[in-house]
Amino acid sequence: MRRPSSLPLRAALAASASLLFCSSLLAEPKRPECIAPASPGGGFDLTCKLAQSALLDSKMLQNPMRVTYMPGGVGAVAYNAVVAQRPAEGGTIVAFSSGSLLNLAQGKFGRFDEKAVKWLAAVGASYGAIAVRADSPYKTLDDLAAALKKEPGKVVIGAGGTLGSQDWMQTAMIVKSMGVNPKDLRYVAMEGGGEIATALLGGHIQVASTDISDSMPHVLSGNMRILAVLADKRIDEPDMAKIPTAKEQGYDISWPVVRGYYMGPKVSEEDYQWWKTHFEKLLASEDFAKLRDQRELFPFALTGPELEAYVQKEVVRYRAMAKDFGLIQ
């Protein structure tokens, strides 16, 4: 019996592939934007620029992505703007971090909770850090503890956000383990890592509660020193291996900082899936891993429903933590 020709099948497959290619082009956002919910120079800025570079370098976007800054409430202004005023923008993604989830757990984003947006992708993680200027008299956490026990009001600590923020929380956990009441801290609230670094290097604060990704450029330039990174063990990277952990200095505190993106609640499924699919491709690529490493971030990859489940679980955990510190009822 004569075998039927495979040409019609090949033609059909080619046509199908062409159709899929065209539909993906149609689904591509015309005006892609990443909102960094803080001033330039901090972790949200870093997160947006990671997506900007990765999508451009991989040619997944034909139109360049712009990064816009929307400071206020360490994410609250951007969250409310996207949910209430720009809920259906299929080309807009917004950077978030573990600090965003902590604020949501305390109701700091107003009437909107963690279920108000579409969680898109988590693309990396960093760790909290306690930093000082390179010429600071504090060389270790014990040096800082001695100063805080003597006169806590004389040590000005700068951090992103107000009482109960991520930066405040990691500092509060450390000073509590030092035997110091966190409420006695002289704390200056700022908008993100960029402002914190500027204030520290300018001598306006003595200690910065920040994260290691924000800090490393200043450490490498010789202007800043990290007293402790809040990781379980030393980070096995050439530039970070010499930085001690809080744990090895006798303070059993760790604070991972997850970074990623969310979208508005009324974004179409087609637009959401375009972003989700392309982030999954990025997260599986070696080129993206190199870009992530250049920004001092470590592997952490979740998308779609898996990220949604992670967010809900973390918010519950942070809510319990906030209750322990008397921040919420």
What 3 state SS string does 264-327 have? CCCCCHHHHHHHHHHHHHHHCCHHHHHHHHHCCCECCCEEHHHHHHHHHHHHHHHHHHHHHCCC
pTM metric for this prediction: 0.80
Per DSSP, the three-state class of 48 is helix
Residue 307: name the closest of 98, 34, 82, 36 by CA. Answer: 98
In CATH, the architecture of 127-255 is: 3-Layer(aba) Sandwich (3.40)
Structure tokens, 210: 């920040």
The Cα–Cα gap between 205 and 201 comes to 8
Residue 297, token pair as written in the block: 């971030």
Which of 226, 205, 209 shows the shortest CA–CA distance to 217? Answer: 226
Burial class (CB in 10 A: 0-12, 13-18, 19+), 86: middle
Q: What is the pLDDT along the chain (329 residues), one digit of tens a residue?
A: 333 333 344 444 444 444 344 444 447 898 999 999 998 988 899 999 999 999 999 999 988 999 999 998 878 999 999 999 999 999 999 999 999 999 999 999 999 999 999 999 999 999 999 999 999 999 999 999 999 999 998 999 998 877 888 889 999 999 999 999 998 989 998 877 888 999 999 999 999 999 898 889 999 999 999 999 999 999 988 889 999 999 999 999 999 999 999 999 999 999 999 999 999 999 999 999 999 999 889 999 999 999 999 999 999 999 999 998 899 98
Pairing of strands 33-36, 118-133: unpaired
The segment(s) of the chain belonging to CATH 3.40.190.150 are 32-125+257-324
- What top-level class would CATH report for the domain 32-125+257-324? alpha beta
Q: What residue ranges of the chain are covered by domains with CATH 3.40.190.10? A: 127-255
Cα 101 off chain centre by: 10
**What count of Cα atoms within 13 Å lies in the side-chain half-sphere of residue 114?**
23
321 to each of 174, 183, 291, 306, how far by Cα in Å?
Answer: 14, 16, 33, 23
Q: What radius of gyration, in Å, describes the C-alpha atoms of the chain? A: 22
Determine contact, residues 280/134, Cβ cutoff 8 Å: no
Cα–chain-centroid distance for residue 265?
A: 20
- Total residues belonging to the chain: 329
